[in-house]
Chain A
């Protein structure tokens, strides 16, 4: 996993609430057996009014969104399906930070396992960022601070383990495999107990 220490880029605001993972990548694009190249399907339907007709009012279609690595979204981003394809698709279009006042549990886990930092802010700070339009900002994971250009920095909190893994680019599978012997002895004891060795 690519480590993430600080990101400086223009931020795109998607004001909608409850942007679900079907919006991020519609189900008909899930018939893939790889995780690469899903960016071309990111927000497929949201970007278009009809096939071949782009929705000019959709922020990611704006020329100023070019190269954006920070996404600021309305409350409850990433709700719905557990598809990791949503995180893969966002990663593939270059997104490295997602900010909202509420981010769905499974999406948050999927994002962080793919080098994308999910940040949950209080309603007030979130509101402040939502009012920005294509502003450049820096997100510093070492200092846990968001620094919009030309306004006060905003502090944020993230789970310590998630932060460490993102900073170091540690993958969770490797971490779990490090516990393999504890897992084996736990299993052996529990299997025996369930098989009736208990009183």
Chain B
């Protein structure tokens, strides 16, 4: 009998075109290549210079999100781009997709969205696939049991031209999450706790497979949040084996297989999970039961503590520098820190469940005065659904801004940003210095926590809201 294999082994074996040797990495076939406006123009230029075409336009899918504004079109029909260069990037994507025959969900497509929200929305992301994109949070798609990772622009060129990449197989690391997550603790809290445990370089060279009861009981949205941030632990990718939850999510999605092909696909997907007894290169264990709402205090995503906790003592010079940048002192309580901005969005937390969690807190309450709150749905379909469910009304009534889909304040290259010196609670994935704008100070948290902070005007444990009805809790309007 064949020896037991991990999910990573199975994905790898299925896609090796030319095996690795001592002299060269393997040639690996790519099933889905997602393209956006920021990391692709130079790649299309190289194709032109070398007289190459896109080898598999049918496996290439483009959208615009990073430098695309989240304010609606102006009365004259033009896009309110942040500067001329951003506008040129968007135009170039349109031209390149047209010239090379690539399907583009452009500005006016109802499906347009953040690239890592759109793929799953459409059912383009499927178990067993290899998926790449010129964006490090491509790891999101691993939530479906695919091998999905970010690449640089030279590699974008390679995939466009050959639908393959030169790769060495990463190590497999099992992240076993034991026990059950408490009911008012979210997937974002779990992944922040995992990164704090592994460290920001703890997953370097590895593909993480998240396993255990707590992971199995997450929805697809929650699983995507977890896999999304694998890169913040330095990992090449994160993945979760497909199961009934995955299959139900994909059923009837626009690009998912249908009819007989669906049956065959499901059959294939069911054979993907790691075999009993398969060996991992490394293993980490995390206890879900003890996890509480988390928030970051420093300038890397591993610097997370409980919302109810205190700013830790600096462990080294980098920590000291981070504390100086954030303006925090060791021993201070996180709760009670006054905030200027709240951002709910990004490929980590802009899906329908994230918006429902935020709305649950905000319903019947108002954003504290002086706190700017931006809520940005991840895609057109998410926006539509949130409006149908009345969530958008909840946000607008509470005094938050409700925007068009896009990356928004996560990357601050589209007109949305946190001001210099401002303290923000953000549901995105990176709290690096200047990430949300020059001099911006970012604390990462879940949508539930971010919404609670918006209402309180300061850092607050969201359980103070979700455990008490409107009218009896703190910070009510």
Contacts and interface: CB of A to CB of B under 8 A. Distances in A.
Interface stretch (B158-166, B177-185, B362-370, B459-467): B158-166
B346 interface: no
B161 A114 contact: no
Interface in B225-260: 231, 234, 236, 260
B158 A172 contact: yes
Contacts of B411: 27
B469 to A, nearest CB: 41
A26 B29 contact: no
A33 B88 contact: yes
Contacts of B25: 161
A79 B201 contact: yes
B8 to A, nearest CB: 15
Contacts, number: 175
A125 interface: no
A51 B23 CA distance: 48
Contact of B17 (A76, A80, A179): A179
Q: How large is the interface on A (under 10, 10 to 19, 20 to 34, 35 or more residues)?
A: 35 or more
Contacts of A20: 300, 430, 432
B427 to A, nearest CB: 17
Contact of A31 (B67, B152, B201, B317): B67
A182 interface: yes
Given A31-B413, A105-B204, A196 B264 contact: yes
Interface stretch (B35-43, B277-285, B384-392, B447-455): B35-43
B316 A17 contact: yes
Given A31-B85, A82-B134, A84-B153, A177 B201 contact: no
Contacts of A81: 135-136, 430
B161 A33 contact: no
B166 A180 contact: no
B204 A183 contact: no
A173 B152 contact: no
B24 A161 contact: yes
Contacts of B231: 80
B134 A183 contact: no
Nearest to A16: B318
B438 A82 contact: no
Contacts of A109: 151-152, 155
A160 B24 CA distance: 7
A61 interface: no
A175 B167 CA distance: 13
Interface in B53-92: 56, 66-67, 82-83, 85-86, 88-89, 92
A32 B24 CA distance: 33
A26 B89 contact: no
Interface residues of B, number: 68
Contacts of B434: 22-23, 26, 45
B136 A80 contact: yes
Given A84-B152, A110-B152, A179 B318 contact: no
B430 A80 contact: yes
Contacts of B433: 22-23, 45-46
A15 B205 CA distance: 23
Contacts of A182: 17-18, 27
A30 B166 contact: no
Contacts of A46: 433
Interface in A1-57: 15-18, 20, 22-23, 26-28, 30-35, 45-46
Interface string B45-57: 1100010000010
B200 A76 contact: yes
B336 to A, nearest CB: 28
**A-B interface, 10 closest residue pairs, ranked by CB to CB distance from nearest:** A84-B152, A31-B85, A110-B152, A82-B150, A33-B41, A76-B201, A82-B136, A84-B153, A113-B154, A17-B318
Interface of A: 15-18, 20, 22-23, 26-28, 30-35, 45-46, 74-76, 79-84, 87, 102, 104-106, 109-110, 113-114, 159-161, 164, 172-173, 175-177, 179-180, 182-183, 186-187, 190, 195-196
Interface of B: 17-18, 22-25, 27, 29, 38-39, 41-42, 45-46, 50, 56, 66-67, 82-83, 85-86, 88-89, 92, 134-136, 150-155, 157-158, 161-166, 168, 170, 200-201, 204-205, 231, 234, 236, 260-261, 264, 300, 316-318, 321, 411-413, 430, 432-435, 438
Given A22-B434, A76-B204, A106-B151, 6 more contacts: A20-B300, A33-B45, A75-B201, A76-B234, A102-B204, A196-B261
